[in-house]
């Protein structure tokens, strides 16, 4: 609910600090005292257009701060704030600030975080409803009528939303499968030719690198083959250095025992012989590895060039050809079995659609039944509000399939007819603001248990009526205030007497500057204000007595 409102330098308000309580709060005062300015101030923190003309003459800026006490642990408002990273500590109020500069421009904050006017309006829709001269949303907006009716009917909308999600998922899967099937059909010849080509080539993982390495090695062998042959020839035969070294060690071996130095020499030569033999073996291995085979090189190059040509053709790396072949195998298999898969998906989509239609039609009928009950409930409220010639109708129609959605297949709009024989029309078509406010009051009373914004404001709902009708309005406002906080700007003493709290708005002037003031009335001052409303400028004893009678009925 709205807990506080602080206003600085707004039109003729220099500074005001207002506190509000639950129940029915009434705001009264003489015409021109500034009641509309209070609503303008509240409108600013609710996201209304910031007009620099609202800034008090001589001031640089106007500031309005509103505090709301509301449970924010769950629900749409909590989700909206969380989605926009606005933190609210448990038990702490939601503080909205709006500032308007005299030279144009404005700033808005929610709990000290800068926000846009658009977000401010979204948040405000969960906090306050204003009905009357300032009404531009709420019950007159058809966009919310379906949800209000569903709440009144206690309808199961979740199962319809789930069935719709299942249907759309099945339809999306079918659409994708059909698109893939159509694409595969278009590319059937290319796919068949390419797959056959890859099958015949049979690429292997890592093959390009292996072929390239073997080709490079063999090309090196071709360059080194003559030198290797000469080196090998030098190491072979009876007159080679290695043969001479072997002969030398054999001769030294026979005389080495005769002297220690000879033994050491033999040991050194043995080591040299071992290294030489190892070198000979490595040369032989290198010669084998670098063996140049023209036919093998030709085969390697043919395979390597064909592999790279295939890779370029399909715009993939050579080592990705095996994966490409597997993918094409899968595409071909899907193409071959595509009609069977499509039949399965078509069946699943048809079943999902049927489940949705069944649930949506049941919800549609529940709405029709609830609409009749709501029509009757509203009709019972119209006559006491001097709207006995008016008729209310919950118009429910079935949407075309292209407009079906998670909310079902129903279009819902509240319609009225204000004169006998006239056609039903949307609520916003009513010309009289007071008549519209009373109609909304009747609808709100009928929907009272379904909730709504935490705070409701009715601006001069009693305009143009008095006596029994004003009493009926006051009684219904009082009844409605048991469900939500209610603030009423009124000129009717019968309505004012029903209030749980009473604020008097007055205007004073020092001859040059006018100021608006707000006073919370106690029992005595409240009696005097209601007496003033009854008698006019001069308060009589008879008016005071009548005011007492009105207050006693509360």
- The whole-number pLDDT of residue 340 equals 65
The whole-angstrom separation of Cα 429 and Cα 437 is 13
494 closest CA partner among 521, 516, 475, 520? 475
Domain assignment present for residue 255? The answer is: yes
Q: Token pair of 449, please?
A: 């248990």
Q: Token pair of 500, please?
A: 């749980």
Domain assignment present for residue 199? The answer is: yes
- Domains contained in the chain, number: 1
What contacts 33, CB < 8 A, 6 or more positions away? 505, 506, 507, 516
Give average pLDDT by consecutive 10-residue segment, the chain, 554 residues.
91 87 89 77 87 86 91 77 83 89 88 90 85 57 86 89 96 88 77 90 89 79 62 68 77 80 81 79 68 76 90 90 89 71 89 96 95 92 84 94 95 88 79 69 76 77 76 87 88 90 84 78 90 81 86 72
- The whole-number pLDDT of residue 407 equals 94
Cβ proximity of 331 and 191 under 8 Å: yes
The whole-angstrom separation of Cα 330 and Cα 481 is 68
Phi, psi dihedral angles at 333 (to 5 degrees)? -65, -40
- The whole-number pLDDT of residue 237 equals 62
Domain assignment present for residue 280? The answer is: yes
- The whole-number pLDDT of residue 128 equals 87
Q: What is the CA radius of gyration of the chain?
A: 46
Tokens 């002297």 correspond to 259
Domain assignment present for residue 297? The answer is: yes
How many CB atoms lie under 10 A from the CB of residue 336? 10
Averaged confidence pLDDT in the chain: 84
The whole-angstrom separation of Cα 18 and Cα 67 is 10
- The whole-number pLDDT of residue 173 equals 92
Tokens 């339809």 correspond to 171
Domain assignment present for residue 422? The answer is: no
What order of strands is seen across the sheet that includes strand 106-110? 13-19, 2-10, 61-68, 94-101, 106-110, 113-115
List the end-to-end C-alpha distance of the chain, in Å, as a whole number. Answer: 23
The whole-angstrom separation of Cα 490 and Cα 533 is 10
Give the CA count within 13 Å in the CB-facing half-sphere of 25.
Answer: 23
How many CB atoms lie under 10 A from the CB of residue 423? 8
How many CB atoms lie under 10 A from the CB of residue 362? 15
Phi-psi region of 108 (alpha: psi -120 to 50; beta: other; left: phi over 0): beta
DSSP-assigned beta bridge partners for residue 63: 8, 99
The whole-angstrom separation of Cα 147 and Cα 138 is 12
The whole-angstrom separation of Cα 312 and Cα 208 is 13
How many CB atoms lie under 10 A from the CB of residue 250? 9
With both helix axes pointing from N to C terminus, report the angle between 188-201 and 294-313 in degrees, rounded to the nearest 10. 160
Say what the alpha-carbon torsion angle 212, 213, 215, 219 is, to the nearest 10 degrees: 130
- The whole-number pLDDT of residue 136 equals 43
The whole-angstrom separation of Cα 171 and Cα 165 is 10
**Domain assignment of residue 248, given as a range:** 188-334
């Amino acid at each position: 609910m709205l807990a506080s409102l602080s206003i600085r330098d707004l039109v003729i308000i220099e500074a005001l600090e207002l506190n509000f309580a639950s129940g029915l709060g009434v705001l009264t005062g003489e015409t021109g005292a500034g009641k509309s300015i209070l609503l303008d101030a509240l409108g600013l923190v609710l996201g209304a257009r910031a007009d620099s003309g609202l800034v008090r003459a001589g001031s640089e800026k106007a500031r309005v701060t509103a505090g709301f006490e509301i449970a924010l642990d769950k629900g749409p408002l909590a989700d909206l704030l969380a989605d926009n990273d606005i933190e609210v500590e448990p038990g702490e109020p939601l503080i909205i600030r709006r500032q308007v500069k005299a030279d144009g421009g404005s700033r808005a904050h929610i709990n000290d975080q800068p926000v846009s006017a658009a977000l401010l309006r979204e948040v405000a829709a969960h906090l306050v409803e204003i009905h009357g001269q300032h009404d531009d949303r709420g019950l007159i907006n058809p966009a919310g009528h379906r949800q209000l009716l569903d709440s009144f009917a206690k309808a199961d909308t979740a199962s319809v939303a789930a069935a719709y999600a299942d249907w759309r998922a099945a339809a999306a899967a079918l659409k994708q499968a059909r698109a893939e099937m159509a694409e595969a059909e278009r590319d059937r010849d290319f796919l068949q030719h390419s797959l056959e080509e890859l099958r015949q080539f049979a690429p292997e993982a890592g093959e390009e690198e292996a072929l390239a390495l073997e080709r490079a090695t063999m090309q090196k062998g071709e360059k080194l083959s003559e030198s290797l042959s000469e080196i090998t020839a030098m190491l072979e035969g009876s007159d080679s250095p290695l043969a001479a070294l072997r002969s030398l060690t054999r001769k030294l071996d026979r005389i080495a025992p005769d002297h220690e130095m000879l033994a050491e020499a033999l040991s050194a030569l043995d080591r040299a012989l071992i290294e030489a033999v190892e070198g000979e073996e490595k040369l032989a291995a290198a010669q084998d590895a670098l063996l140049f085979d023209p036919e093998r090189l030709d085969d390697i190059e043919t395979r390597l060039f064909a592999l790279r040509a295939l890779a370029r053709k399909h715009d993939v790396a050579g080592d990705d050809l095996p994966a490409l072949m597997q993918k094409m195998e899968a595409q071909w298999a899907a193409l071959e079995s595509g009609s069977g898969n499509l039949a399965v998906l078509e069946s699943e989509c048809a079943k999902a659609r049927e489940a949705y239609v069944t649930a949506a039609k049941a919800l549609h009928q529940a709405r029709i039944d609830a609409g009749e009950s709501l029509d009757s409930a509203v009709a019972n409220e119209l006559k006491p509000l001097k709207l006995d010639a008016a008729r209310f109708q919950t118009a429910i129609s079935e949407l075309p399939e292209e407009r079906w959605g998670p909310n079902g297949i129903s279009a819902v709009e509240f319609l009225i007819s204000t004169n006998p024989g006239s056609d039903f029309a949307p609520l916003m078509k009513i010309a009289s603001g007071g008549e519209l406010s009373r109609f909304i009051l009747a609808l709100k009373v009928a929907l009272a248990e379904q909730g709504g914004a935490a705070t409701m404001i009715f601006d001069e709902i009693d305009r143009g009526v008095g006596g029994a009708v004003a009493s009926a309005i006051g009684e219904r406002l009082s009844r409605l205030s048991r469900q939500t906080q209610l603030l009423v700007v009124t000129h009717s003493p019968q309505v004012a007497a029903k209030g749980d709290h009473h604020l008097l708005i007055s205007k004073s002037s020092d001859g040059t500057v006018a100021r608006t003031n707000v006073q919370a009335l106690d029992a005595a001052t409240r009696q005097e204000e209601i007496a003033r409303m009854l008698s006019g400028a001069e308060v009589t004893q008879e008016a005071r007595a009548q005011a007492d009678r009105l207050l006693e009925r509360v």
